[in-house]
Amino acid sequence: MPDWRARLRAKGYRLTPQRELILAAVEELGHATPDEVLAHVQTTASTVNASTVYRTLEVLEELGLVRHAHLSDRAPTYHSTSGHEHFHLVCRGCQRVVSVEVEEAAPFVESLTTTHAFTPDVGHLTVFGLCSECEENQ
C-alpha cells in the first residue's frame, strides 16, 4: 500500500495529529465503533471530539485505509485495510465476531457473478447466526 500520508495529501487533505491518532487507534483496536475509537484516542489527546472522529473515519475510508461493516444494529464498526481482507460472522447469542478470509466465500461470489452478473464487495459482508455453543444451549 502506498504511504497513507501521500494519499492524504494527494486528495487535498492535510496531515493532522488527530488523523494520525485516529488511524493508529483503528489499527490497534482491530474492530471498533467510532465511540470506541474516540475513547481510545482521548486517552492521549483530549482535544479530539466525536465529530472529528466521524469525519476522519469517512476520509480514511474514502482513501481506502479503513473499511466499515455493520456488526450490530448500532454504529458501524471500522477496521484497518492494512491486514487481510475478510468478512464477518456474528453470533446473535454471544455477540462473538469471527473474521473469515474472503477465499472462503469464493463459491458464493462465483455463483453471484455467474448467475446474476454481479460482483459483491465481500469486505462489507456480515453474516448473522448462531455459533455452535449458542446453538447447543438453545
Q: Give the number of domains in the chain.
A: 2
Residue range(s) defining the domain that contains residue 55: 4-80
**Of the candidates 32, 52, 80, which is a domain's last residue?**
80
Q: For the segment 14-63, what is each residue's pLDDT rounded down to a tens digit? A: 888 888 899 999 999 988 999 999 999 998 877 789 999 999 999 999 88
**Spatial separation of the C-alpha atoms in residues 33 and 26, rounded to whole Å:** 9
Q: For the segment 68-115, what is each residue's pLDDT rounded down to a tens digit? A: 988 887 789 898 887 778 889 999 999 998 989 999 999 999 999 999
Domain match, 55 and 98 both: no
